[in-house]
Structure 1
């Protein structure tokens, strides 16, 4: 009998792709606030659950008896929400989800964010070093970023209390094949007029996020580990250090960037999980790839 995985945020941009991938090998309990119009999806049991409510969150996860929980069910930004509401929703739902997973003996993979490094500052600053790795000090600015750090703290609590592992993934700006939102930014970029860009023109393709989730699910490791999730290149098509220097007026003293490589390191995911990003904007911008049919 296939193992069971609970996926939260199952109708969201990332969650739906994760459900669509995992359902081929796992029984998936797909959790979101609402149910899809199409419910007859092989390998998927859809559930409408408010994860900020401890009782329903615990009941759903414990009754599923999963081997793993993939938690992508957060408000993804503050663009149309008050910061306090975003923090309260994300921190509470993540705590309840991870806590229930721990009590169920299920390993966890969940979506933290690149923004914990300080990408949303009104006047973004240079990091201490390039490339930025998972050991770089966080610099949260708003409620969303702070909620992600709260989630990482919850992950530490869960691995301390229960015999499970937790992978906190820090994805960059997630892009979808054939509809990359970075395209107009790239096309308008000019070194002579470059300004500061909070994540140093980084991104990641949804298919690489999905493959990282799968790698984290299928690799044995202990405790709580944080993994960056970034494409291997920037999305400008120019040297990364040159773009940063043009936009920021300088570089940190500790700078080891070559060519168009990402300003963020994924070496830890490569060494621990055997994962690396395989998709680049150079082909993915114009690709025609069918997404999940149930959203």
Structure 2
């Protein structure tokens, strides 16, 4: 396939470029800056996707079969709120509209923050556990709200252009050999811990990449959303007990066993044949280098 990957020098985007290029696809990676190195089967282009002309020219010239959109300001607190919202919404609109004009299927990065608790000033409990794709979306911050609008744009593009658009809702993305989950676990005390809006969930970057592949391999039209989350929390503690200890309560409907993730991946398992393969127990000790083209 001819594949366009936006956010190509970012955390997840660079791993997507690496995977698709290694499988022989012709990849165009787009980001605000080109990477330091090169990669066989991959070309890189510096472009500002908030500019419609740049976005459309870059994408349409590649004649893509698929567009994978992971470019974004990735969370609150990095830029002023208005900049985060406007950047994410405008770039998503321009990229998905260009993909539609090209007749290319799309997979793009939404977020589990779309439910609202992750970046809320005071994290709150959902209506039920485990949270699934059907749970109401109630964002309170500009980043999550940009993802809510983005999912509406995704649905629009699917209807307008007759393409398949998949909104992936990853949890906190972790990387092989990373230390952040271990640090969080080692310092965690339920008696003093602050409420965590994603309820100590995570997903390995390799599982996000495999969901992108699974979505593109699934023969369907329209717009669908899928949670991308590891099978368990990263604390190594019973999930429901931990949430209750920190939040002081649980929703009336709570069906979590042991260390089970507070987010459900049943829909992705059923419709995409996808399931998470990586857990923090192994990943923290794995010495796997990231994409070499970032460092050359």
Counterpart for residue 213 of structure 2: 214
Q: TM-score when scaled to structure 2?
A: 0.97
1:191, 1:115 → 2: CA distance? Answer: 22
Checking the alignment, whether the CA contact within 8 Å between 2:133 and 2:225 is kept in structure 1 is yes
Checking the alignment, whether the CA contact within 8 Å between 1:195 and 1:246 is kept in structure 2 is no
CA shift for structure 1 position 79:
2.1
2:128, 2:272 → 1: CA distance? Answer: 24
How many residue pairs get aligned? The number is: 292
The reply on whether 1:244 has 2:243 as its aligned counterpart is yes
Aligned partner of residue 158 in structure 2, secondary structure = helix
Checking the alignment, whether the CA contact within 8 Å between 1:170 and 1:229 is kept in structure 2 is yes
Counterpart for residue 109 of structure 1: 107
Deviations along 1:103-146, whole A, 9 cap, x unmatched?
10000000001111111111111100000000000111111111
Q: 28, 49, 52: which is aligned to 1:51?
A: 49
The reply on whether 1:77 has 2:78 as its aligned counterpart is no
Counterpart for residue 268 of structure 2: 269
Structure 2 segments unaligned to the other structure (5+ residues): none
Checking the alignment, whether the CA contact within 8 Å between 1:110 and 1:167 is kept in structure 2 is yes
Counterpart for residue 125 of structure 2: 126
1:55, 1:292 → 2: CA distance? Answer: 29
The reply on whether 1:11 has 2:15 as its aligned counterpart is no
Counterpart for residue 256 of structure 1: 255
Aligned partner of residue 170 in structure 1, secondary structure = strand
Q: 18, 21, 24: which is aligned to 2:19?
A: 21
C-alpha RMSD over aligned residues:
0.9
Checking the alignment, whether the CA contact within 8 Å between 1:61 and 1:100 is kept in structure 2 is yes
Counterpart for residue 146 of structure 1: 145
1:67, 1:265 → 2: CA distance? Answer: 30
Structure 1 segments unaligned to the other structure (5+ residues): none
1:36, 1:197 → 2: CA distance? Answer: 34
